[in-house]
Structure 1
């Protein structure tokens, strides 16, 4: 794991530069728009607000007794926003090296800095929105101490997206088909995550399939905290840590083997 440790240390040593690059990345997302800096935040916020309006207010749809909450819109908001954050961070992280190929060929920057910029820019946008949702749901459980689990869940999501985004960025540089394959996987991945349905409705013998999605542990953790006011079960943390360990091992191997060819691929 020495190679991965060196990469993470490079990010820490250049944290001032990474923060400048992150701010520019966020600013570039709303450049030329009338709403300005609010637009990147309004788009996902309006999306989840539409879920709540349609399913809770208009149709008044309800889930079964075993669901963490009966209101469909309320259930969807808690899962959909973390999923959008996950997809945005992973997708932008995956494309970061390809988009910055010219820059890397002219400047001896560690490639991991550009991946970190893309992932952090996504979290700068979605992080406050997730906190806003947490503040909206916390009073439902009288500000239970379980809300403190929200912080490690956010940290878990950030690290997971950084590792996965970096791994996919290298694979995409080597084989452009990776972008198409991952794009399709993210588009259908919502159906393999307990976002549109509670975990209790999925066939018990096939629930292991859902755990193959790295976002499942995150979504279940957020649901436990925000919908039930309970600390996420050990299975959420265990699966999340297993995903981190697996991605770290794979990324360490891929970075070590691609170090000399990566810039040429771009």
Structure 2
């Protein structure tokens, strides 16, 4: 878990850990310099559990991406499976059980990542909707242009963590969860998207990244397209993938090359090479958005 001034909702998230039907877990918290009651709440929680069950460390204090990546790269953490957690959500009681049940079906030498849909709640825990239910298969071709699973839903095995550690924590990427989806799928790992929500994803005014559901989220994405944000994200992700290109499968390395060629072209070249690359978003509207991004970039 990564924290930063999370006193408002932290206790509810911590309580949801204790309700997990999968009982064999420990918690490592990387705090990024909280100045509110976050550390006091964590200390109280730590004292309520067995010695060694909860560990609190200092984060890099750069941004949330650096904090999560620094946590996954720590050499003093060892487990069979790893779950990322935000500070303001609420896990369903079966979240870890569902993730571990699937992960145990994958041979341990194969990188595997579990992620899924979420139930959206407001500040007072009232249900306000659900994240989109994606139906097309997870793949590197999808991961290049879209993240289908939030980091708060992700659970992965040691082989996947090995990849993340090899890539390191000194990366310039837009988001740690999108990066995990790209890297693990690109290296030939297995991705499972659970359509059954196992997490209450709290939406509030202090969210760094909120849900991508609804017309408000679509409007925000359109604004980011106009600002060239998507193009910048592509550049960041491609740069990071190039650093660990030797871990990509031959097929996915070719997909990356074709996608790089597409985003460097004008409108018609983009369309031709995008089709050749096989890159796709989950919905028809999302794929139209790719083309719009190219048109805006070309102006």
What TM-score comes out, normalization by structure 1 length? Answer: 0.25
More helix by share: 1
What TM-score comes out, normalization by structure 2 length? Answer: 0.23
Query: Does 1 or 2 have the higher relative contact order (CA < 8 Å, sep 6+)?
Result: 1
More strand by share: 2
